[in-house]
């Protein structure tokens, strides 16, 4: 396994459309391993191949929720995927929240995404899969698949992009408001 360099916005590779993966060979399996390792190291929840300089249609996502205190993570609660040649076949609903990107480190912006998507992809065993995602998983799928088209979330941001410190402050105020009986939405604000 190896940590890969995450390309940052301004790098031309992030604006290119990716090519389909033709065969799941050793190199692709290695790339998947390295992408997971790189994503976890950067504390992200998603990473697309072009972000590590590879123009192939491949993404990794892990939006597994933290287990409750004292509980162990159950296999069926894991939301960890490597998607080869993914395609969104249906999308509906709407969610509006902050999102970030490992290729624009330390920043976040408000983006509206579908709240429910169905994605079709090939997994690392070569099996055709269909997966339904809601909430953060739907957001991550949309965000990562945009990377395969050479698109960054900043093109879709409503308002301005803010620093993660500013976002932490907004979240803190939301939690305060919620504690006082409001019902502020409680997103995660993690980077994809």
Q: Can you say whether the dihedral through the CA atoms of 164, 166, 169, 170 is positive or negative?
A: negative
Beta bridge partners of 44: 191
Q: In this structure, are residues 24 and 112 in contact, taking their beta carbons and an 8 Å threshold?
A: no
Provide, rounded to whole angstroms, the least separation between the CB of residue 126 and Ni ion.
26
Toward Ni ion, which CB reaches closer, 24 or 51? 51
* Per CB under 5 A, 101 contacts Ni ion: yes
Instruction: Pick the closer one to Ni ion by CB: 34 or 192.
Output: 192
End-to-end Cα separation, the chain, in angstroms:
21
Residue of 144, 169, 174, 188 with catalytic role: 144
* Cβ closest to Ni ion, residue 24 vs residue 107: 107
Nearer to Ni ion, 24 or 157 (CB): 157
The span from the CA of 2 to the CA of 24, in Å, is 19
Q: Which stretch binds Ni ion (CB under 5 A): 75-83, 99-107, 157-165, 168-176?
A: 99-107
Q: How far is the CB of 14 from Ni ion (least distance, A)?
A: 9
Q: What are phi and psi of 158, to 5 degrees?
A: -95, 125
Beta carbon of residue 88, minimum distance to Ni ion (angstroms, whole number): 16
Which of these, 118, 116, 114, 46, lies nearest to 86 by C-alpha position?
A: 118
Stretch that binds Ni ion, among 58-66, 74-82, 95-103, 121-129 (CB under 5 A): 95-103
Q: Min. distance of Cβ 105 from Ni ion in angstroms? A: 10
Of 24 and 31, the one with the shorter C-beta distance to Ni ion is 31
For residues 44 and 93, give the distance between their C-alpha atoms in angstroms, rounded to a whole number. Answer: 24
| Cα 8 to Cα 126: distance, rounded to the nearest angstrom | 31
Interaction residues for Ni ion, span 13-32 (CB under 5 A): none
Is position 144 annotated as part of the catalytic site? yes
Q: In angstroms, what is the minimal distance from the CB of 172 to Ni ion? A: 25
Size of the site for Ni ion (CB under 5 A): 2
N residues, the chain? 192
Residue written as token pair 């004292």 = 70
* Enzyme catalytic residues: 144
């Amino acid at each position: 396994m190896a940590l890969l360099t995450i390309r940052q916005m301004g790098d031309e590779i992030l604006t290119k459309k990716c090519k389909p993966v033709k065969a799941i060979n050793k190199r692709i399996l290695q790339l998947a391993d390295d992408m997971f390792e790189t994503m976890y190291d950067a504390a992200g929840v998603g990473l697309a191949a072009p972000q590590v300089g590879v123009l192939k249609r491949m993404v990794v996502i892990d939006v597994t929720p933290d287990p409750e205190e004292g509980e162990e993570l159950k296999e069926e609660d894991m939301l960890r995927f490597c998607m080869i040649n993914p395609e969104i076949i249906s999308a509906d609903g709407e969610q509006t929240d902050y999102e970030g990107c490992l290729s624009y480190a330390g920043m976040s912006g408000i983006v509206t995404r579908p709240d429910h998507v169905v994605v079709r992809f090939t997994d690392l065993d070569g099996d055709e899969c269909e997966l339904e995602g809601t909430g953060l998983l739907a957001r991550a799928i949309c965000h990562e698949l945009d990377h395969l088209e050479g698109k960054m979330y900043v093109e879709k941001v409503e308002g301005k992009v803010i620093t993660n410190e500013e976002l932490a402050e907004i979240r803190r105020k939301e939690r305060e408001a919620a504690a006082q009986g409001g019902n502020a939405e409680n997103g995660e604000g993690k980077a994809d």
